Amino acid sequence: MPTASTPGKRWKTLLAALCPLALTACAGSGFQNTTQGDFPVETVRSQNASERVRFLVMHYTSSDFGRSLELLTEPSPYPVSAHYLIPEHGDPSYANSDLRVYQLVDESRRAWHAGAGTWEDRIQVNDQSIGIEIVNRAHCHPPVETVPQKAGEEVCFFPEFDDEQIALVIALAKDILARYPEITPTRVIGHSDIRPYNKVDPGPRFPWAQLAAAGIGAWYDDDTVVRYLEKLRGDSDASPENIRRHFAQGLADYGYGIDPETATDEDISIYTRAFQYHFRPWKVDGKIDDQTRAILLALLEKYFPEKLNQNRGPSE
């Protein structure tokens, strides 16, 4: 009576059992990066794996196309790069009449665009992300000393993004998301979300709501914000300290790299400002007002309802 006692027969039995789960491998197509060594290779696709790419990070360049392309591709003492660069109209350094997507780094390789960025439980965002640099000549001036020993606010200028440029960003992002299912809506983020202490890009002019309407990234439902806003305005019992701590916890629950237990008031203000750049760009002041709280609660309800617990206070 035939048995599967030999190694070869055992392998064939295992392969036959796995074929319904790995049709591509069983058809002999293998993997794109299969070694080309002079030896036989059998491929059986494991179900116990995930995509390396988890995040999509948006940036603005602060420079024109020519300078941006140079900085992102040429060697320098402080090298930076990104997977894609998208130009804008009206830039004398851009020679083409039509806008095109420039790919600078293969998606399978690590580009140097996110720095020491943190999102969710990940601290090496460069290793797990695709970066898109968008030409926009936004710039900030350092604080000016208004009186001796007292510095003023940093002054920033944020030009509007080119409509055709944003259409190209949307087309590229949709193509990326179709290939990387682990980039969920809350994992489409800005540089300022992951590095709030020293980055503000893509800035308050970046149309996050427009992208979300096209199926890219997260946004809240207005009706939910209004509902939470009514609750919060009727609550006069919560102390400012509890509000700040609950808000910091909500930011961490959403994905921001803040530690609610150890964050100082300054830390919370910096992260609040980053949140506002993304979700309340018409008023970025780092203050936890009722509208900012309501927007965060609406986002948590939509994307992380399990994290809306009973410890946020009577109105939250």
Cis omega before residue 159 (within 30°)? Answer: no
Catalytic residue among 133, 145, 241, 266: 133
Phi, psi of 35 (to 5 degrees): -55, 150
Helices (H), the chain: 7-18, 23-26, 65-73, 163-179, 191-194, 208-213, 222-233, 240-254, 265-279, 290-303
182, 142 in Cβ contact below 8 A?
no
Task: Classify residue 91 by burial, with Cβ atoms within 10 Å: 0-12, 13-18, 19+.
Answer: middle
Looking up tokens 């000393």 gives 145
Q: Is 74 a catalytic site residue?
A: no
CB under 8 Å to 50, separation ≥6 — which residues?
A: 182
The count of C-alpha atoms lying within 13 angstroms of the C-alpha of 168, restricted to the half-sphere facing its C-beta, is 21
Query: How do 139-141 and 155-157 pair as beta strands?
Result: antiparallel
Q: Which residues are the active-site residues?
A: 133
